[in-house]
Copies of this chain bind each other. A is one copy, B any other.
Amino acid sequence: MSNVTRRREEVFRLIGSCADRPGIVAKVACYIAARGANIIEAGQHQDHESGVFFMRYEVMLAEGDSEEKFRAGFIAVAEELGMEWWLSSALRKKRVAVMVSRHGHCLADLLHRWKFGDLPCDIVCVISNHTSLRELVEWNGVVFHHVPVPTDTPGRECAFQQISRLLEEADVDVVVLARYMQILPGWFCEKWPNRIINIHHSFLPSFVGANPYRQAAERGVKLVGATCHYVTAVLDGGPIIEQDVVRVRHNDCFTDIVRLGKDVEKSVLSRGLLYHLEDRVVVHRNKTILFY
C-alpha cells in the first residue's frame, strides 16, 4: 500500500476531482500514456450524492520527462475536465512541524518512526508550550521552540501569532498536533486548511473536548479509541482521517485506560500522518476519501 520503501525517483502522485461523467479516466490515462509514463497505483472514487469524481494516480515518468513538463501538459487536460488537482513528487519530502504540550508519547513515537525510516518526511521543528520535551527533541537533532501560551486572550493571540511566524519561517507543509492541549484560534485553523492534523484521544464523536479518557471511564465503555483528524474551527469536528480502538475491562483503572489508549493514539496518529504524507487523503464535505 505505502511506498515508503519503493524507489521514488520519478514517482509522482496526481490527485484530482471533478464532476463525474463518462470518459474522465480515459482522458487522464491517455495523457499519462502519451507521455510514456506508467501508472503504478490507481485509485478512484465517486461520491454518488454530490456527483463528484475523485482520483489518485501514482505514475512513473518516462526517462527524459520531468515534473515541470508533465504538469504543464496536464493543465489543458484538467481544464477540459473542470478538474481541481495537484501533483506531488514522492521524492520531495513534506516538511512537518510537531506541536506538543507535556505528553511525550506521540512525539517520541513520531521521532522514532522518522529516524527508522518509516515516516517519509522532514520533521523541521517541534513547538511546545512547555520545556519538558526539549531534551528528547534536540537529541534527535530537531529544532525546539518554546512558546508559552498565556491564559489571557491577548497573550494567547500573541503566542499563536508567534507560532504562525515560526511555521512560516520553517516553510512547513503539515502541522501535527501530537497531544497539544491548547485550542487553536479560528484564523490559525483556516490558515492551513486540511494541513493541521490532530490526534484526539477518543473515538469521535464520542467524548468531544477535555478529558476524554475520564469521560470514557465514567460512561463505562468497553472500548476506548483515538481519532486522527484535520483541524477546523469546530472543536474536534474536522474530517476524520483514521480511528481505532482498544478493549478495556472493568478492572482497568483510569491509569490503565490512559496507558492502553496511548498505544492507540500513537498508531492512529502515525497511520493518519503517513496517509497524508503520501497524498492519500482527499477531503470532501467534512469527510475524507482515503486512497490506500
Contacts and interface: CB of A to CB of B under 8 A. Distances in A.
A151 interface: no
Contact of A243 (B4, B221, B243, B256): B221
Interface in A215-243: 219-223, 225, 239-243
A118 B287 CA distance: 26
Interface in A59-96: 62
Q: Which residue among A40, A105, A244, A251 has the maximum number of chain B CB atoms within 10 Å of its CB?
A: A251
Interface stretch (A10-18, A24-32, A189-197): A24-32
B62 A22 contact: yes
A1 interface: yes
B4 A259 contact: yes
A251 B4 contact: no
Contacts of A1: 249, 251-252, 256
A23 B25 CA distance: 12
Interface stretch (A152-160, A166-174, A175-183, A199-207): A199-207
A41 interface: yes
Interface string A249-292: 11111011001001100010000000000000000001111100
B37 A33 contact: no
A116 interface: yes
Contacts of A109: 112
A36 interface: yes
A38 interface: yes
Contacts of A214: none
A147 interface: no
A45 interface: yes
Contacts of A203: 203, 206, 221, 223, 245
Nearest to A250: B289
Contacts of A116: 104-105, 108
Nearest to A20: B38
B105 A112 contact: yes
Q: Which residue among A62, A104, A244, A250 has the maximum number of chain B CB atoms within 10 Å of its CB?
A: A250
8 contacts: A21-B38, A22-B32, A22-B37, A22-B62, A25-B32, A26-B33, A220-B288, A222-B241
Query: Which 8 residue pairs spanning A and B have beta carbons closest together?
Result: A220-B287, A26-B33, A5-B255, A26-B29, A23-B33, A25-B29, A222-B243, A22-B38
Given A26-B34, A250-B289, 4 more contacts: A39-B44, A219-B287, A220-B239, A220-B288
